[in-house]
């Protein structure tokens, strides 16, 4: 990076230039700059959701392409991820303070063998913002961890995330274990992560595949109200 880049005054950029610069800064793992960019966009009246999707998620998409193509490696991607998390930490309380009425409860975690958590964290943030109570189990969860959390928190929804083709089959292990214990139908099971699709979700016996965090929120709301209606009709 040149000296002139070091001295760049982010406030002097218009919105489009700033977002492009934030994509570069995310790519370069410059957490302070990414956070500054987030704050500037918020000051300029951008909604937290718009900052999240257009500046952060899009920046991470670009990182993902170059990671796939062997241009970026794990250490660089980790720095990018760290920068993304810095920006998300600013947005989290703003997304959560929408004053939405309480909707229900969700336990969510990334499956065993998988340490990707950015997408899951985003889902948690958006669900909280929509009025759900979220219990986040973090990464690398064996089936026992999910079961313990279901017992302890009695959520309406179980969410599972997987970003690797090698870890996504573990979701089936969790669902099959729930079936064996006779508790599968007590919960709405939602799954997500870049390598999944609807056919996979159907095949493993999940209730729905969620392409992104916004879809997760909509799906959770729809399925929960359907469940409440069914219970109401039976009563
Ligand atoms: Co990894 N990685 N990674 N990685 N990494 C991928 C997933 C990969 C596609 C990159 C690539 O090759 N293009 C590839 C997987 C290939 C495959 O399996 N087919 C890959 C690989 C190979 C690996 C390693 C094996 C690399 C290595 O060590 N050689 C290794 C595995 C480690 C492990 O888990 N055991 C690894 C490691 C890492 C880092 C640690 C460096 C870092 C993770 C840091 C972190 O998460 N804290 C990392 C990252 C950042 C990525 C990419 C670049 C970005 C993922 C991300 O955060 N996306 C990723 C490339 C890609 O996905 N294009 C890649 C942004 C996020 C907002 O999107 O996670 O898709 P996403 O979440 C979305 C939706 O999917 C959905 O909503 C979210 C928000 O809209 N969603 C859900 C996700 N979970 C949900 C749960 C729900 C609902 C919706 O429940 C209800």
Question: What's the CA-to-centroid distance between 2 and ligand 1, angstroms?
Answer: 31
Cα 114 to its chain centre, rounded Å, is 14
- The Cα–Cα gap between 206 and 188 comes to 8
The DSSP output letter for 187 is S
Residues 176-189: what's their mean pLDDT?
Answer: 98
Cα 168 to its chain centre, rounded Å, is 16
Instruction: Using the atom order of ligand 1, give the atom closest to the CA of residue 216.
Output: 88
Residue nearest to atom 87 of ligand 1 (CA): 192
The 10s digit of each residue's pLDDT in 7-60 is 789 999 999 999 999 999 999 999 999 999 999 999 999 999 899 999 998 999
The 10s digit of each residue's pLDDT in 131-166 is 899 999 999 999 999 999 999 999 999 999 999 999
- The Cα–Cα gap between 224 and 197 comes to 21
Residue nearest to atom 77 of ligand 1 (CA): 212
Q: Which of 116, 141, 222 to mutate to test the pocket of ligand 1 (most atoms within 8 A of CB)?
A: 116
- The Cα–Cα gap between 92 and 201 comes to 28
- The Cα–Cα gap between 114 and 173 comes to 14
The 10s digit of each residue's pLDDT in 75-127 is 999 999 899 999 999 998 998 776 667 789 999 999 999 999 999 998 998 89
Question: What's the CA-to-centroid distance between 9 and ligand 1, angstroms?
Answer: 32
Q: How far is residue 15 from each of residues 89, 90, 118, measured CA to CA in Å?
A: 21, 19, 25
The pLDDT, as a whole number, for residue 50 is 93
Dig out the tokens for 14 from the structure: 């218009």
Closest CA to 113 of 173, 198, 180: 173
Contact predicate 176/143, CB 8 Å:
no
pLDDT of 5 higher than 90: no
Residues lining ligand 1, judged by CB closer than 6 Å? 57, 60, 63-64, 67-68, 74, 77-78, 81, 108, 113-120, 122-123, 159, 161, 163-165, 190-195, 210, 212-213, 216
Question: What's the CA-to-centroid distance between 140 and ligand 1, angstroms?
Answer: 13
- The Cα–Cα gap between 210 and 205 comes to 14
Instruction: Using the atom order of ligand 1, give the atom closest to the CA of residue 78.
Output: 41
Burial class of residue 85 in the structure, from the number of CB atoms within 10 Å of its CB (0-12 exposed, 13-18 middle, 19+ buried): middle
Contact predicate 171/191, CB 8 Å:
yes
Closest CA to 107 of 163, 173, 152, 169: 152
pLDDT of 1 higher than 70: no
Q: Which of 29, 31, 64, 66 to mutate to test the pocket of ligand 1 (most atoms within 8 A of CB)?
A: 64
pLDDT of 4 higher than 50: no
Give ∠ CA 223-225-226 in degrees, rounded to 5: 60
Q: Which of 49, 67, 157, 222 to mutate to test the pocket of ligand 1 (most atoms within 8 A of CB)?
A: 67
Instruction: Using the atom order of ligand 1, give the atom closest to the CA of residue 64.
Output: 53
Secondary element (H or E) of residue 102 = none
Greatest extent of the chain over all pairs of C-alpha atoms, in Å? 70
- The Cα–Cα gap between 93 and 76 comes to 27
Dig out the tokens for 144 from the structure: 């026992």
Residues 190-206: what's their mean pLDDT?
Answer: 98
The pLDDT, as a whole number, for residue 99 is 66
List CB contacts of 118: < 8 A, sequence separation 6 or more.
Answer: 60, 81, 84, 85, 88
Question: What's the CA-to-centroid distance between 56 and ligand 1, angstroms?
Answer: 15
- When computed from its CA atoms, the radius of gyration of the chain, rounded to whole angstroms, is 19
Residues 167-175: what's their mean pLDDT?
Answer: 98
Contact predicate 184/93, CB 8 Å:
no
């Amino acid at each position: 990076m040149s000296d002139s880049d070091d001295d760049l005054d982010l406030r002097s950029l218009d919105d489009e230039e700033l977002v492009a610069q934030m994509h570069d800064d995310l790519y370069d793992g410059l957490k302070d700059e990414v956070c500054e960019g987030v704050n500037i966009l918020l000051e300029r009246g951008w909604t937290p959701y718009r900052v999240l999707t257009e500046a952060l998620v899009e920046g991470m998409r670009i990182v993902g392409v170059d990671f796939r193509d062997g241009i970026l490696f794990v250490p660089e991607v980790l720095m990018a991820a760290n920068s993304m998390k810095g920006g998300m930490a600013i947005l989290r309380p703003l997304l959560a303070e929408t004053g939405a009425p309480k909707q229900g409860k969700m336990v969510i975690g990334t499956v065993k063998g998988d340490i990707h958590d950015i997408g899951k964290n985003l889902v948690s943030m958006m669900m909280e913002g929509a009025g759900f109570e979220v219990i986040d189990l973090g990464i690398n969860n064996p089936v026992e961890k999910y079961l313990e959390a279901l017992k302890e928190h009695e959520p309406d929804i179980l969410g599972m995330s997987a970003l690797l083709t090698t870890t996504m089959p573990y979701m089936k292990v969790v669902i099959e274990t729930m079936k064996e214990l006779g508790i599968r139908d007590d919960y709405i099971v939602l799954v997500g992560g870049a390598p999944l699709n609807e056919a996979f979700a159907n095949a493993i016996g999940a209730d729905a595949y969620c392409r992104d965090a916004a879809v997760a929120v909509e799906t959770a709301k729809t399925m929960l109200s359907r469940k409440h209606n069914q219970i109401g009709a039976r009563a």
